[in-house]
Chains A and B, each alone.
Chain A
């Protein structure tokens, strides 16, 4: 497929600019999926794949990058790009820890996003008199198991009845599965065993009618974090799917994984999968080249109409010096420089500034890890916090069990700590309203970075009270609090560090 202008700058819509402004105001790093700086390896790989998306086989890329390096941004760029340009449909989804089988997961995606399209495609192909067995590998080998099903799907009586056609598709995608429904169509029950072939059939039907898809699956690491066996299931099913790629005419599957769960883990978990995917693994490194930094800052200067054309050179030098470890931090820093805002200093930088702190930090981290202290952080967090607060805040009231909060009675503030990066926003809002009702204070929310909590998603039942969100890594703050508690000689340094880390709130 000929795709023009891929990787060019996209024109942001007015409403997205508003969101970006809002994020900036709250001190968040905004999502800017309108332009991808650098990352030439990934761009080239994806451009190649996209050129052949209507080709003779399905393709895949596994994108690896550490948290904050732009994986989601990249997927969102593709989504935006193909909203405005002719080409494949992009379906973005997050990995489902409860459905590690990628084949069943993709069938579910097709069911949720493409059922009507499948119906139309089947009618169209039926009308054109296409040879259906070609869509199912001529029923060779394992495909013999879906011969009956395929023939039924394209039979005139089914194509003529929209209700039956839909039911029959649902038998394939999995929404319907009991014997009664098969009997209704006079079919043998399909086993989960046959689902791989059904997926191939559906993808071929879509392709044959000119509908190509990019299936973008983000945050695969969640499955890996959840359970070893589920991750194995994911990788095995992924491998099985790759082995079927030569029977699928087109489409592209992009999966994303954080660095922490990187290639080594994949290799250890499933060697067979690894050997297949290896050439298609692409990583998103940190942007560090001078030219790229200049491109970034120039782009941002235009984007925000900052009018700093003459000062961009020195900014690049400053950015380069910082050697940011994450593209998200780099982006934040670049925006701060451009918009004259106070620079956020990363913890790593803070640690290296103070004599000896980095070493004790790492030492404490590994000790706590060994003690298993990070496992139930929400319980263990408050002991060192209490110690720290008693020394620095005097009168301390903790509401730890039900509300995970510290009530600063002197300054009338409630400090509310979130530990779970998966927490749903309704739950957070409910808790916040309880806290406000109970203590009638302004609230400072400490939210894990990955939660990406934004003020715009907070709903308070009363607007009398102010909310401030501090993004943090619960483990990092916990380590600092422990250093404070256990190392008298570092107390002064660490309390300064904690204050900076929490934007002078603790």
Chain B
């Protein structure tokens, strides 16, 4: 299975205020013993307070006062350390979910700092609570109260730096599963105190898109594995969700209803396996926005099939409605010393178009390598290389995509194209993420879709080429290695999808011939590149196939995907 790379961590917390409480009680005792005539430790705190914290004086008269003091301090410490978590505003911490009986907290993005930020925020919230004041309120001697009230201004923070301990409980956890996933007969429910469960409503909304209505009393219970007598806790049910406080992903497997295997796997994809990659933000301009709005337009889709080298069109007429996405420029190629570079330049009557100077001398050439100037007609260029007469050549004009659009077209056009289609089809999908297997990254994955019956991994490329197919086949094979545990249980399919293609696809002619699909693998009118639809086998995995698709028209691709998903 893929590695668990969840950004949700689970910790066991422990709050221990004993150092500061012991110090405080000792201080109280010393002051009291010196100030009050009839002082006895048993009179230090109010009776109802001692009752509340569960301390009871022993009838044993052999216990001396310092020993009693220590016992009281221990009882106070026990009480306050356990109770303080109820007092603080957990919304101000990064906690997602808290379960008091097992002292578990789940939080987000704490992996890097090993929970340090959470620990600090809990510590600071406890400090804010100034529990010393609570102790002072319960001191029975008025005179002591006054002095102590003034003393606590000192805060004694040095005693409060190490009061919270977090120990990693189980790394990368499934935060919850819907209870409907579990086989009813295999689980039991038992009553627990609803106060023991705390959930961050806002985080559940923002992270999981789960709305929790605060005005509704949640239905909370403990969910147990019915087949076991002891140590049978699975988790805590909160409305229709179970938070896994004891079970691991693997423990849960036998309890999942077969009809929910796919959903359970999908859940894990969402929360455990995928490391989301940030969306490339890209440029912004009026034209780019307009261009994006036309993404679904068949005319534009077809036109773009004429794009060469991913950025220019030559020799065809661009319909007027799209012309503002392009700009006419002249191309200059194969200049001496810089043959690998093409230059796109504009020309103005009689003006210099491009001058090239090198700071590193090349052979016997001048450092001023080239000087290119319009020949006063805007139809030809004059090429200067020395004081000799320039050579003349006609200007070669092309239509290039405007810069923001050109780069968008290369980087995200087709991913957006695909995502828009998937989105419009209302499919369950995850885009742009990385998965890992045995700590190795399997690389970026553009899209994975869950249908009612299967999982489809999709690679989006602007152009279908033999190299891309071969490259993706390697990735497919690794993904299948990782998914061995669900092989034969859940259908997994692989697709590489592009709008356009190039001639290298002909290298796959053998596979293309195996299964001809009408309308594909032949030229289509109005489209420069060949639309493809064929399957190639994935090495080392029997019967596994990669489906390769080149379909330039948005609506057609959308219905193709729809059909694939219905199969």
Residue numbers of A with Cβ under 8 A of B are 97-98, 100-101, 112-113, 142, 166-167, 170, 175-178, 181, 191-193, 195-196, 226-230, 232-233, 236, 239-240, 243, 270-272, 275, 422, 424, 426-427, 430, 433-434, 436-438, 461-462
- Set B58, B70, B440: member contacting A243, Cβ < 8 A: B58
Closest CB in chain A relative to B111 CB, distance in Å: 11
Q: Are B170 and A191 in contact (CB under 8 A)?
A: no
The 4 closest A-B CB pairs, nearest first, are: A437-B439, A192-B54, A229-B18, A233-B74
CA distance A430 to B193 in the complex (A): 34
Interface pairs (18), CB distance under 8 Å: A101-B78, A166-B190, A166-B191, A175-B193, A176-B191, A176-B192, A176-B193, A192-B54, A193-B51, A193-B55, A229-B74, A230-B18, A240-B56, A271-B64, A424-B168, A426-B170, A433-B438, A437-B439
Q: Are B171 and A426 in contact (CB under 8 A)?
A: yes
Closest CB in chain A relative to B196 CB, distance in Å: 9
Residue numbers of B with Cβ under 8 A of A are 14, 16, 18-19, 21-22, 51-56, 58-60, 62-64, 67, 70-71, 73-75, 77-79, 101, 103, 167-171, 190-195, 230, 248, 438-440
Q: Are A461 and B438 in contact (CB under 8 A)?
A: yes
Q: Are A272 and B438 in contact (CB under 8 A)?
A: no
- Set B16, B18, B52, B70: member contacting A191, Cβ < 8 A: B52
- Set A112, A166, A270: member contacting B230, Cβ < 8 A: A112
Q: Are B78 and A175 in contact (CB under 8 A)?
A: no
Instruction: Known pairs A193-B51, A193-B55, A232-B74; list 14 more (Cβ under 8 Å).
Output: A166-B190, A176-B191, A191-B51, A191-B54, A192-B79, A227-B16, A228-B22, A229-B77, A232-B71, A233-B75, A270-B67, A271-B62, A272-B67, A424-B168
Known: A236-B74, A272-B67, A427-B168. A196 touches B56 (CB 8 A): yes
- Nearest residue in B to A196 (C-beta to C-beta)? B56
CA distance A422 to B12 in the complex (A): 13
B195 / chain A contacts, CB cutoff of 8 Å: 177-178
Q: Are B58 and A240 in contact (CB under 8 A)?
A: yes
A101 / chain B contacts, CB cutoff of 8 Å: 54, 78
A170 / chain B contacts, CB cutoff of 8 Å: 191
Q: Is the interface of A mostly helix, strand, loop or mixed?
A: helix
A100 / chain B contacts, CB cutoff of 8 Å: 74, 78
CA distance A427 to B75 in the complex (A): 34
Q: Are A427 and B53 in contact (CB under 8 A)?
A: no
Closest CB in chain A relative to B134 CB, distance in Å: 16
Q: Are B439 and A193 in contact (CB under 8 A)?
A: no
Q: Are A430 and B171 in contact (CB under 8 A)?
A: yes
Closest CB in chain B relative to A183 CB, distance in Å: 14
- Set A98, A191, A271, A462: member contacting B63, Cβ < 8 A: A271
Closest CB in chain A relative to B236 CB, distance in Å: 12
CA distance A177 to B101 in the complex (A): 12
> In the complex, which of the residues B67, B77, B78, B171 has the most CB atoms of chain A within 10 Å of its own CB atom?
B78
B52 / chain A contacts, CB cutoff of 8 Å: 191-193
A177 / chain B contacts, CB cutoff of 8 Å: 193, 195
CA distance A359 to B330 in the complex (A): 88
B167 / chain A contacts, CB cutoff of 8 Å: 422
A226 / chain B contacts, CB cutoff of 8 Å: 16
Q: Are B67 and A271 in contact (CB under 8 A)?
A: yes
Q: Are B77 and A233 in contact (CB under 8 A)?
A: yes
Q: Are B191 and A272 in contact (CB under 8 A)?
A: no
B192 / chain A contacts, CB cutoff of 8 Å: 175-176
Closest CB in chain A relative to B45 CB, distance in Å: 14
CA distance A340 to B289 in the complex (A): 81
CA distance A430 to B191 in the complex (A): 34
Q: Are B74 and A230 in contact (CB under 8 A)?
A: yes
- Nearest residue in A to B250 (C-beta to C-beta)? A459
B56 / chain A contacts, CB cutoff of 8 Å: 142, 193, 196, 240
